[in-house]
Structure 1
Amino acid sequence: MFLPLGTDRTKSRPVAVTYALIAVNVAVFAALELLKEANPELRERVWGWLMLVPDESGWWTYGTYALLHAGYSHVIFNCLFLWVFGPDVEDRLGRVGFVVLYLAGAVGSGVAHALFSPSPVVGASGAIAAITGAFLVLFPYVKVRTLVFFFFIGIFPITAWWFIAFAVARDVFGLAMGGGNTAHFAHLGGYALGAGVAMILLWLKLVPREPYDLFTLGRQAARRRAFKAAYAQGKINARGGGSGPPLPKGVERKKHEPEVLKPDGPAALARLRAQKLVAEGDSAGAAEAYLEMRRLPDGLKLPALGRRQLYEIANALFQAGDHVNAAAAYNEFLTVHGRDVEAGRVLLMLGLINARFLNDPTAAKRALDGAKKKKLTDDEKALVNELLAEIG
């Protein structure tokens, strides 16, 4: 068994809506329990009026069913998950956005259940699954403090990506085993709705993007693939072509024509400006030109900047406090110049940025472990050890 206890993310505002929703769920459960003792018949009528029964109950039950819980463990575990995952999503979406997502998750998961199962359903699990799905997209690398019961008992930090993926896999496995009394379709529908809504909000920039949400990570991965492909193509063009497969006797291979990039295109001009400004000692101006180049579609098709130029630009971005783009520039340096003598210092800077500014201890440790294998000064080695101690 895996029980979430909290996360390591710092909130920027007081939590309000999450605690209010927990209070509503507990209050409704307590009221119905008291009513069961005082007037069992009335309690059954209220329960039947609020419960979702596919193809039988009224339209309102697609929302009201989420107020009902089948027992103490049902309400306790639901509220526990909402207490752990709700505050961070509320912090990112805002209070109104969080309420809308919760209610949409309740309705959407109810519809998902009704489409695939005729069984009655109660509980806020689907709405909370929507919150959890949004959490997965917004904070995939946040650590979840988890109480583990598995041949041993202990509290361990587990990356949200793995924790939530395990929860989704458990519902898929439950469906494969026959479903039982758990509304697996409601859970899966909630996860899908929450994740989908979060991705759309990030895509439309209605929610500010962060360096390590799934949308940004996906874009960065696509850019890295495009950059590597462009860099590889640039090397082929520089050689005048590749070897290719053998041709039939008497057939000549057509000479490869190198790709011609427009020298007067906006991205190419921004690249030239960045090179010139580095040569003139204006690293801050070069960084602005570099960012302009990377924002343009053709910027990804251009050959990489030289090692000194990338190094100076990345350092300038760091000094300006633009830690997200500084990390991207340092990563680009490592992609192209990974064997350079400065690679150790670049890895150290990536570790520093991820540990102290981007709140990504996983990426920080990966960079710092790589830096330890490189040639560093004694002071740099001491900083590596200090950062590793900070992130645990």
Structure 2
Amino acid sequence: MAAWVKGGATDADAAVDAAATLLAAARTPIVAGLCAELSAVRAAYHLADAIGASVDPVAGPNLYAELGVLSRTGAMLTTPAETTGRADAVLIVGNAPWERPIVQEIAESAPTRGRAAGAERTLLSLGGPRNGATRHVAYPAEAGGLAVSVAHLRAYLKGHLAGETAYGDLARRLAAAQYGVVLYDAAELGELGVEMLQGMVKDLNEVTRFFTLPVSDPYQGRALLQLAAWTTGQAPRVGFGRHVPEHDPWRFDSARQIAAGEADAVLWLASLPAPRPDWLGTLPSIAIVGEGSPEATGDAAEIVIAVGVPGESAGGSLWNDRRATITYAPPTGQPAELTAAGVLAAIQDRLVQKKAASC
């Protein structure tokens, strides 16, 4: 398994020792990325606690676009299985959801149970890409963006706006549904847009059955959120500077911390594909990345360790979009020599040894 220290190839043991030395010297480290199998994410939280680091996942922008809204107002949610089995009207908001397989599955099926069983499914789009490959009725977004568009649509549904307009037509279609679902991407829609959308769906439930299906981010955010809750009792962005998990999504935003000069070291965990941040090479850094990925090179960080990719060269528990839950993904190829969880545990063990030796 490949490993590099300051651009030079080395063995995993030497890289682990170098990583422990780097973290031992840090006063305000960050553990970021966390796009990995759950065993690795759990090990990352344990390491962060041991070294007093803050934690910030790459999925943070998507997660935090929803979390505040859900805690304040709640939500009407459903699952992919209920959507494909029951919905006779599906509204897709924005561009991002169209990139997910669930859209094609919805387009190719019809409701088979519930009040809408046997009815034709209507696929609607608000501010989408006008995808000609999938039959749907498209409505353009307002100039102010998706959040403003949802606000105007809600006004038509409540009767505050009226007239023979595109949004008036869309409002009538939604109100006529027997079981409707709205698909959206929280990061694309934004916090205000999510709050407006959830309010609109609650309004629709006064006359029919309507739910939302937020698409999950591609960086294991949904799985991470659950692990963070059962590990710390908090959402993911926490700091362990006082060795208790303190939640503060603004304070522990890694990009903000680094731009403000508040961090002096970072450990980047991404055994699954994730966009490498521009700031990774601007301070002492460790990157634990999937073998064969573009980041598995000596120049990605000061210390780079390549590990098995969950679902390919390593097994691991991952978020399953189709089932909307965490499931185990077995390795499909030759198992890798190193796993992300094993490397993180080895770094923590080496830190304990160094601390004991210094006493």
Report the TM-score, using the length of structure 2 for normalisation.
Answer: 0.23
Whichever structure has more strand as a proportion of its residues is 2
Larger radius of gyration: 1
Whichever structure has more helix as a proportion of its residues is 1
More relative contact order, 1 or 2 (CA 8 Å, 6+ apart) = 2
Report the TM-score, using the length of structure 1 for normalisation.
Answer: 0.22
